[in-house]
Amino acid sequence: MSDFYCDEALSGNTPVNVVEETETVLAFEHTRPSYPVHIVVVPKVHTPSLVDLGDGGEERLVDVLRVVRSVAARVREEHGAACVVTNEGEYQESKHMHWHVLFRGELPEGRL
């Protein structure tokens, strides 16, 4: 089972640029971004997925979503839009709950 977040980002094996951090949650710039702004938000304790919260239960989900909300607000303020995405099952490449907060690029003309 692949868990990039525990094995690399949270362990320090792969350095990350921290965007926001709490006692239980880490938000950082994606190490291989697909968008102009691509931030990942993860719980600091292994949590399998949005559907399987493991031992942390809904309290862990609330902690993570507080940071997702804060990061998304900051991206929206700076760029005019934000997209928030999480994946499940075969779409979830790393089996550790994680959320992507994105700005995908230029907005249509006349839109801020």
Question: What pLDDT shows up at residue 92?
Answer: 79
What CATH number is attached to the domain comprising 8? Answer: 3.30.428.10
The reply to whether 99 falls in a domain is: yes
Beta strands in the chain (DSSP E): 18-21, 25-29, 37-43, 83-85, 99-103
The reply to whether 49 falls in a domain is: yes
Calpha distance 97→47 (Å, rounded): 6
The reply to whether 42 falls in a domain is: yes
- Domain interval for residue 74: 4-103
Condensed to tens digits (0 to 9), the pLDDT of residues 54-98 reads 998 899 999 999 999 999 999 999 999 999 999 988 887 888 899
Question: At CA 59, angle to CA 52 and CA 96, rounded to 5?
Answer: 35
Res. 52: pLDDT tops 90: yes
Q: Tokens at residue 80, please?
A: 């005019």
The reply to whether 112 falls in a domain is: no
